[in-house]
Chain A
Amino acid sequence: MAGLTRTAGAFAVTPHKISVCVLLQIYAPSAQMSLPFPFSSVSQHNRLGLYLLSLTKACDDMYEMKLEELINQLRELGDDVDAWLTENLTNQFSSLSSPDDLLNFFTDMRGILGSLDSGAVQDDRIVLDHNSNLGMFVRRCILAFNLLSFEMDMEIYVMDKATKEMELHRNASGSVSFHLHTPEALFKVTEGIPYYSPIYAQEEFLRISGLLVSRKEKSSTSKFAEATSVASASSSKVEDTRVDESLFLRTNLQIQGFLMEKADAIEAHGNSFFSSSIESFLEQLQNLAPELHRVHFLRYLNKLHSDDYFAALDNLLRYFDYSAGTEGFDLVPPSTGCSMHGRYEIGLLCLGMMHFRFGHPNLALEVLTEAVRVSQQLSNDTCLAYTLAAMSNLLSEMGIASTTSVLGASYSPVTSTASSLSVQQRVYILLKESLRRADTLKLKRLVASNHLAMAKFELMHVQRPLLSFGPKASMRHKTCPISVCKEIRLSAHLISDFSSESSKMTIDGSLSSVWLKDLQKPWSQPVYSRESSSRNNSTFFKFCDHLVSIPGSVSQIIGASYLIRATSWELYGSAPMARMNTLVYATLFGDSSSSSDAELAYLKLIQHLALYKGYKDAFAALKIAEEKFLTVSKSKILLLKLQLLHEHALHRGNLKLAQRICNELGGLASTTMGVDMELKVEASLREARTLLAAKQYSQAANTAHSLFCTCHKFNLQIEKASVLLLLAEIHKMAGNAVMGLPYALASISFCQSFNLDLLKASATLTLAELWRGLGSNHSKRALDLLHGAFPMILGHGGLELRARAYIFEANCYLSDPSFSVSTDSDTVLDSLRQASDELQALEYHELTAEALYLMAMVYDKLGRPEEREEAAALFKKHITALEIPQDVEPNMA
C-alpha cells in the first residue's frame, strides 16, 4: 500500500537536480577564497545561497522546475552575475559529454562538502556543512547517483544530453521543458516508479504543440504565476498537470503532497465550475494510476463540496474499502499493530461528518457513535479524539432537541452517566475529552481547533457546574469572556510550533510545494524585475519572508481564530474590535482559507457596513461579494442579501416587500427538525418584526412567543435575549408598557449573564422608553437609564440605535417641565440633527420624520421660522415617502 513512507527510490537524480548541483558548485567552489569569482559582494553571494536553499527545499515538490524557468529566475536574482551564471550552467552541461564525465562531476561534488571530522573550519574557505540543508541535498544527490546501476548511469547521461541539446536550441524552440525531450526509456531510471505513461512520438508531438500554444499565451500575458499556482484558472491547470503526470515520474511522497494540495484547493474553491474541472482531472489521474486510492478520497471531497450526496457517499466508501484508511492520512499512526484491521474507524468519522454536512444529524450521530466504539475497540486514540471533536461540533451546531432518544438508548460515548446530561453538558464533556486526548497525543492542529470550539462554547454557554449538589453548587451564572480569550489564545499557539522550522517537522510533499509557490509569488511579478533600484532589497526580503512556511491547514485554524475573535467581539458589542479582527482575517488569511470561512468574513464586513455606514455602501460591497461567492454551494451571501433587503424595506416602510423577503428567507431553511436552526430563528424573528412594523401587535407577539419557545427547546440562549427584547419592543409599541417591562428586564439579565453589552445597552434603551411610556413623571428615571447606557450606545452602536437614543433623549428633555427650550436649545437640537442625519443614511423614514418634527417644533419655539420651514419640508418629504413606498427596488436586481 502506498503510504507516506519515504523509500530510497524517492529521491532520484534528475537533470534539474544536476543543475542545482552545478549552481551549488558555483556557490561553494571546492578551493576558493572567501568570495568566489563572479560575485562582487557578500550580499550577492548570500542571495544566491538563499535562492539555492529554497530550491533545495522545493525539490520534493510535485513539479520540477524547468531549466528555462530556472534560468529566468537566475536572471532575476543577480544583476550582473546572472549572465555569467547562466553561461556557466550551460557550459557545465555541455562539458558533461560522457557518462564518465557525470561520474567525475559527482566525485567533484564531494569536494565542496566539508570533511566530517574537521572541527576547525578554515575561515577563508566556503565549505558546506554536512548537516546543513544544502549539504544534505548534495549528499542525497551523491547517494542517489551512487545507487544507480551502470545502465542507469548511461541513461541519466542521455537525459542530460537531451537537456543540453534543448538548452542549445532554447531560443529557437521557445519554452519547452526539458522533460519533454527525454526519450521514453529514460523514465525507467528511477526506482519505485509510481506511475507514468509511455509516450508515443505522434501523440507526444500533438501534445507538445498544444502545450506550446498555451504556454506562449500565458507568458505573453505574463500570467505565469497563475499557471503554476493551484488557484489558477482550472483549464490551464488541468493541462499543466496532465503534461506533468504523463511525462515525468513522481515519488509517492510528491503525489500525496500534490493531492493534499488539490484537496485544499477543493475546499478553497467550492464552486461548481471548479468542481467539474477537477473531477475530470481526477478521473484522468485514476485512469493513470488505478491503485492510487487517495484519488477516490479527493473525488469524495469534491463531490462533498458540490453537494452531490450519492456520488460523495460512493466515493468515500470506495476509498475506505480499497485503502482501509491507511493511505495518505496524515494522522499519527497508532503504535499498536492496527494495520491488520485497517483503520476503518476513520471511514466512519468521515462518513459522520459527511452526513453532518448534508444535514442528516441523526444519521451522523449514529455513525459517529459507531466510530467512537470502533476507535475504542481498536484503541485508536487519535481517531477517537477527532471523533469526539466532531461529535461535539455536531451537537453544538445542530439543534438536537432530545438527544436521549438518539444517544441515550444505544450508547453514550464517554461515560455511562452521560445520558442524563443536557446537550450542552455533553458537548462540554466531549470537548474536554477530545482536548485531553489530543493533548496527550500531541495532535497540535486538533488541540488548536478544540480550543477554538471551546472558545465558542464558552462564548455561548453560561458556566454551570456539571453536577450540582448542595448549597455550594450555585456558581456565577455568567459566561466568562476571559476564558473565551484564553481559549482563543491557546489555539493561536499552534502557529508558534510552525514558525520556527525544525528539522523534526516532516516536510511533506504539500509543504514543499508551498515552498515553490512562495518562491514564485514575488518572482512572477514584473515589478521586481524592472525596478532595479528597489529590487535588491525587496527580493531579499521576500526570500526571508518565505523561509518560514506555514502549512495551509495551520493558517486556516489561525484564521478561524480571528473569525471567532470577531464573532465574540460582535456579541460582546465592540464593533471596532470585531471589524478589526475580520479585517485581519481577510488580509492575512484570505488566500489560504476555505471558501466558507472567507465568505463569513465578507459577510461580517458587509453587515458592519450596513449597520454603521448605511445601505448604499453595504449594497456596493455586497455586489463584490456576490461575484465572488454566489457560485459557492450553500452560499450565505444570498441569506445576507435577503437580510439587508429586509432591513432596508422595513426602514423604508415597504412592508409588502418585507413580508415577501421574510417568506423567501424562511424558504431557504431545510424542513428537517433541528437543521438550519440559525436560519429558522432568523426568519421568524424577522417575521415578527415585520408584523410589528405593520402594527399587528398580537400576531407579532404570538410569533415572537413561539420563537422564544423554539429557542428554549434548542438551547439557543443568545437568541433568547434578543427575542425577549423584541417582545418588550412589541409591548412598548402596543402601548402596553407595564407588560413590556418584565420582558425588557429579563432580556437585560440574559445579556448580563452572557456579557452581551451592546444588546444590553439596547435593551436598556427600550427599558427607558417603557418607563417613559408609563407617564411623564417617570422621565427622570428613564433619562438616568439612558445616560447610563449612552457610552456603550454612542461608542459601539449602529446608526439606528444611536438615532433612537438621541431622539429619545430629546423627547425626554422636551417633555420635562423643568427644561427650557430657549436656554438649552442646543442640547436638544444637536441630538436631533445628529439623529436625522444618521437616519437619512438608513432611509429610515418614520424615525427621520419624528426627528424632523421635533426639530421643527423646537425651531418654532425658538422663533426661527426659516429653519422651521426647512425641517418641516423635509418632514413632509419623509412622510410622503413612507406613505407611498416605492415599489421599484433598485438593488433587487
Chain B
Amino acid sequence: MVLEAADRAAVRALWLKLGSNVGVYTTEALERTFLAFPSTKTYFLHLDLSPGSAQVRAHGQKVADALTLAVDHLDDLPSALSALRELHAHKLRVNPVKFQLLVHCLLVTLARHYPGDFSPSLQASLNKFLSHVISALAPNCH
C-alpha cells in the first residue's frame, strides 16, 4: 500500500507549511473529536479533557510527532509505525474506527485554518495519507 507521488508531494508541502505548528492543530483536532464524538473520551479516562487542558495539549503534540514521523516515512508506514501499532492495537485496544473520527476532525481543523490551501485535491491527498496511517495502526496489519 503505497501513496502516489502527487499525494506525497502535496502532503510534504503542507507539512512544510505547518512547520512547528502541527501540535497546535492536532490538539485542536483532539478537542473537536472529544466534543463532536463523545464516545472517544472513553479512551482517555486518565486525562483531564477540560478546555485548554495541558494534558490534551501534550497528547496533541504526541499525535503531531507521530504524524510527522509518518510524513518522513511514507515508503514504509507499517514499519515506521510498528511501535504505535503495538501500543494502540494491543495495549490501548482502541477500536480502529475511532481513528477515523480524529482524522475527520484534523481535516476540519486544517480546513478552518488554511481555507485557501485546502483544495479538493489536497483534501483527497490528505485523506489518502491519513487512511494509510490508520491502516498501519490497525491490529491486523504487519
Q: Do A and B interact with each other, yes or no?
A: no
